[in-house]
């Protein structure tokens, strides 16, 4: 999850430049999450986290909607991957893990995994996963794992346009894709070649 320079990839648009300042600024060894204020137990919300990983156990995407420490996250990912990869193809898409429900679905070589709270509706989570895959598909055009590997920041961006804090933002595919297109356009405008004078701010 490091900032990447401009890459050639299978994506339609170029990769985004990531700022060096923020990412490089964290001193090593400092825990990523410090408790803010009195410790509160996590209150119920729709989704705790979403993971994408390959059949070989390589993590391609992780989005956490509840603050957890790095160590804890690694542990959870490792455990959950083991459990999900051990499932046989004919088994149902839901399983209980720790105190959460995990909804997973396999698309080609990738497993899409969502962890939801005990009282939530698993079937609608399946729809949610499917909708995300459809969005990726529409954007990349017949998406495959390589698209997500080379354009992971786009995958995150699409996820952020679709879900926020674990809740669905917009139920219309069209408007989500339009928003991403517009943001891409804005980015391209910004990167279009400028004359020397413009760069100096004189024109």
Residues that bind another protein (CB under 8 A): 1, 3, 16-19, 21-23, 25-27, 30-34, 36-37, 43-45, 63-68, 90-96, 121-124, 126-128, 131, 153, 156-157, 160, 164-165, 167-175, 179, 182-183, 186, 190
Residue among 81 and 103 whose Cβ is closer to another protein: 103
Nearer to another protein, 66 or 146 (CB): 66
Q: How far is the CB of 165 from another protein (least distance, A)?
A: 4
Longest dimension (CA), the chain: 66
Minimum CB separation from another protein for residue 169, in Å?
Answer: 6
Residue written as tokens 């400092």? 30
91 vs 202, beta carbon nearer another protein: 91
Shortest distance, position 53 Cβ to another protein, whole Å: 17
Query: Which of 78-96 are b and which e, b meaning 16 or more Cβ less than 10 Å from the residue's Cβ?
Result: eebbeebeeeeeeeebebe
**Can you say whether residue 102 is alpha, beta or left, with left for phi > 0 and alpha for psi between -120 and 50 degrees?**
beta
Q: Please, what is the minimum distance in Å from the beta carbon of residue 125 to another protein? A: 9
Structure tokens at 122: 């698993």
In angstroms, rounded to a whole number, what is the distance separating the alpha carbons of residues 30 and 28?
6
């Amino acid at each position: 999850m490091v900032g990447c320079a401009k890459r050639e990839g299978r994506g339609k648009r170029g990769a985004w430049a990531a700022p060096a300042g923020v990412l490089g600024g964290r001193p090593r060894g400092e825990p990523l999450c410090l408790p803010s204020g009195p410790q509160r137990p996590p209150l119920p919300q729709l989704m705790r986290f979403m993971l994408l990983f390959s059949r070989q156990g390589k993590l391609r995407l992780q989005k956490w909607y509840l603050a957890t420490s790095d160590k804890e996250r690694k542990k959870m990912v490792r455990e959950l991957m083991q459990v999900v990869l051990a499932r046989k193809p004919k088994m149902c898409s839901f399983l209980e893990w720790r105190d959460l429900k995990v909804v997973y679905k396999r698309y080609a070589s990738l497993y899409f995994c969502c962890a939801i709270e005990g009282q939530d509706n698993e079937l609608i989570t399946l729809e949610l996963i499917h909708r995300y895959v459809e969005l990726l598909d529409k954007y990349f055009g017949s998406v495959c794992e390589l698209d997500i590997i080379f354009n992971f920041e786009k995958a995150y961006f699409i996820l952020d346009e679709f879900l926020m804090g674990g809740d669905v933002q917009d139920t219309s595919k069209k408007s989500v894709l339009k928003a991403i297109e517009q943001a891409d356009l804005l980015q391209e405008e910004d990167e279009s070649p400028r004359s020397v004078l413009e760069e100096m701010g004189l024109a």
